[in-house]
Structure 1
């Protein structure tokens, strides 16, 4: 049994090395919208905790999960109402795997839910029209979870942003190498 476990672990490690990072994530952040609104994202930038840019192809990239980071987006709230009861849910996927180069969801058992919400990482309310939205992620409280993740491999994070009181939903997908 132990030999089988060692073989599987070694096989996953070899496969992760063979799988090249998708869409240039070895050098820069990739993102896309995964919903139709009402919050529409136009661009997305990574900032460090001091609000300094994470320049592409710089030593600041990839994301260091041991340090707070900010996801800042130019958005448009297409609804004619304010959103002030925002919360997030994050789904995490790892690139690579034993059976080929694919995204594999990592079960988080709710650990990644409500990491940021109004008053805790999101500046609220979100008013109608164009504006800047910043979400600050400080993962130090879940370092026990971060430590078990493979270091330096591409991850896909799906950020689901919900207004709990108004039953609305928006979503962005980010691909990045993450240091754990």
Structure 2
């Protein structure tokens, strides 16, 4: 009987670590999770999300404009022209992985300076407010599940130098 109990205990322990709960990756059920790819010209120290009225917002709402507030330092040249590319991924709780969603180019080659980023971005430490407004992309938003984890990877390219700033954010998102 003890061997059976020990076997069941070990199976349960291994199952929970191998086949664990995958519903909310990186604690995104309660807080956003983000990171920046290494950059020699731009460092982001913190990222918070607010609504248009400046009130902190979590979960985020993709059906309305979202403001990402960044504490960042630009050690490169002043950035006057930005290309913005956004990749969107949905969490698959059955396979515990992110699946990139097709956006058919709608979120690529955007002019960052007219798409929510105040340009020019000067050198030095600053608080940047970046507005991300998916409401104009209802063809994409309308296909998303409500109250689910999503990942946004935003690539900003300085068109004058080719330098890239890549930040990835994972968050619980409401659509409606």
Q: After TM superposition, is the score higher than 0.5?
A: yes
**What SS does the corresponding residue of 2:90 show, helix, strand or coil?**
strand
Counterpart of 1:126 in structure 2 is: 121
Measure how far apart 1:115 and its partner are: 5.2
What is the correspondence of 1:10-159 to structure 2 with a 5 Å cutoff?
Answer: 19-54=22-57, 61-79=58-76, 81-96=77-92, 100-114=95-109, 117-159=112-154
In the aligned structure 1, how far is the partner of 2:42 from the partner of 2:171?
22
- Give yes or no for contact 1:116–1:135 (8 Å, CA) kept in 2: no
TM-score, normalised to structure 1's length? Answer: 0.80
- The alpha carbon displacement at 1:114 in A equals 4.7
Structure 1 segments (4+ residues) deviating >6 Å:
none
* Contact 1:115 1:137 (8 Å CA) reproduced: no
- Pick aligned residue for 1:165 from 160, 167, 170: 160
Given that 1:116 and 1:137 are in contact with CA atoms closer than 8 Å, whether structure 2 keeps it comes out as: no
2:105 aligned counterpart, secondary structure:
coil
Task: Give the Å deviation of 1:116.
Answer: 5.9
For the aligned residues, what is the CA RMSD?
Answer: 1.6
- Structure 1 unmatched ranges of 5 or more: 1-17, 55-60
Contact 2:23 2:93 (8 Å CA) reproduced:
no
Q: Does the Cα contact within 8 Å between 1:35 and 1:172 map onto a contact in 2?
A: no
Instruction: Quote the Cα distance in structure 2 between the aligned partners of 1:135 and 1:116.
Output: 13
Aligned residues: 155
SS at match of 1:122: coil
Residue segments in structure 2 that go unaligned for 5+ positions in a row:
1-20
Whether contact under 8 Å (1:74, 1:132) holds in the other structure is: yes
Please give the TM-score of this superposition, normalised by the length of structure 2. Answer: 0.82
The secondary structure found in structure 1 opposite 2:137 is: helix
Give the secondary-structure state (helix, strand or coil) at the position aligned to 1:118.
helix
Instruction: For residues 82-136 of structure 1, give each alpha carbon's deviation from its aligned partner in whole angstroms, at most 9, with x where no partner exists.
Output: 10101311111111155x1111111111112255611331111111111111110
Q: Which residue of 2 aligns with 1:178?
A: 173
Deviation per CA, 1:130-177, whole angstroms, max 9, x where unpaired? Answer: 111111011121112101112211111111011112211011110001
